[in-house]
Amino acid sequence: MFGTSGIRGPVGEEVTAELALRVGRALGAETDRVVVGRDPRASGETLVDALAAGLREVGTDVLDLGVAATPTVARAVAWEGADAGVSVTASHNPPPDNGLKLWQPSGQAYDATGRARVTERVESDDPDLRPWNELGDRERVNADDRHVEALVGSADTLDLSVAVDVGNGAGGVTADALLELGCHVETLNAQPDGRFPGRPSEPTIENCEALSTLVAEGEYDLGIAHDGDADRTRATAGDGTFISGDALLALFAAEAAAPGQRVAVPVD
């Protein structure tokens, strides 16, 4: 049921409200508090409501972030003292798809063992449903401000001109953090819209052509692009040249690791 990126597929076929309800009940069997956030896809609110209902039916409290970047959801599990988090997203997939991805308090995705536990409970479909006076609560929580604060606290003040292509997704937190750091920021496709009218969600070189052109023709130091849930980042140099994910990984690794240290990366 779960792949390495969670559950993902066409809504109404592989991903349904019934499935979200059952995942909520299964996850709630091992949690007391769960953070939930979603990207702006049209099906997201329905799936969040079903997931939250399943969690609450077994007595688990739900902390609802609303539309939130997947990295925000992952961080918020620890910030809110929760036991797990769920991103309702299909990441860079097209609008008809959606999915569920589970997070641990460490900010890491559920591992194979954790996914297997939840899958077993979903398939057994024998939840411990609680009476009316033991149902979990549902509370709306804003984690965006805390995420911006964390990003700003991890960097020095920057005097840069940056174009950010949000891709009609949930990644506006990046632009907000850059503004707080002192950058001049211009956004493209900044209105969350799960139909992704500005460009296809995946930030490929072809899909980021408008960003590259804007940066090349303007006085920008760089461009940044995200997918629908902002767990993918691509960039352009100041002349508009697209920078691949592998090149960004090498740059980040060089910054994070000291000379002589070894860096482990996936082959994708």
pLDDT in tens, 60-85: 999 999 999 999 999 999 999 999 99
Q: How many domains does the chain have?
A: 2
Query: Can you give the pLDDT at residue 55?
Result: 99
* Cα 262 to Cα 71, 84, 240, distances in angstroms: 25, 30, 31
**pLDDT 10s digits, 221-244:** 999 999 999 999 999 999 999 999
Let me know whether 166 and 177 are in one domain: yes
Task: Tell me which of 122, 142, 162 is where a domain ends.
Answer: 142
Residue 158 or 53, more confident:
53
User: What are 149's two structure tokens?
Assistant: 């604060």
Q: Containing domain of residue 11, as a range?
A: 7-142
Query: Can you give the pLDDT at residue 1?
Result: 78
Whether residue 29 contacts residue 121, with contact meaning beta carbons closer than 8 Å, is answered with yes
- For residues 205-218, average pLDDT: 97
- For residues 145-168, average pLDDT: 96
Given the residues 43, 87, 91, 201, select the one marked as catalytic.
91
Please tell me what DSSP assigns to residue 15.
B
* pLDDT-based confidence at residue 268 (cuts at 50, 70, 90): low
Mean pLDDT score of the chain: 96
34: helix, strand or coil? strand
Query: Can you give the pLDDT at residue 33?
Result: 99
Let me know whether 121 and 187 are in one domain: no
Tell me, yes or no, if 91 is annotated catalytic.
yes
Query: Can you give the pLDDT at residue 83?
Result: 99
Let me know whether 112 and 194 are in one domain: no
- For residues 183-191, average pLDDT: 97
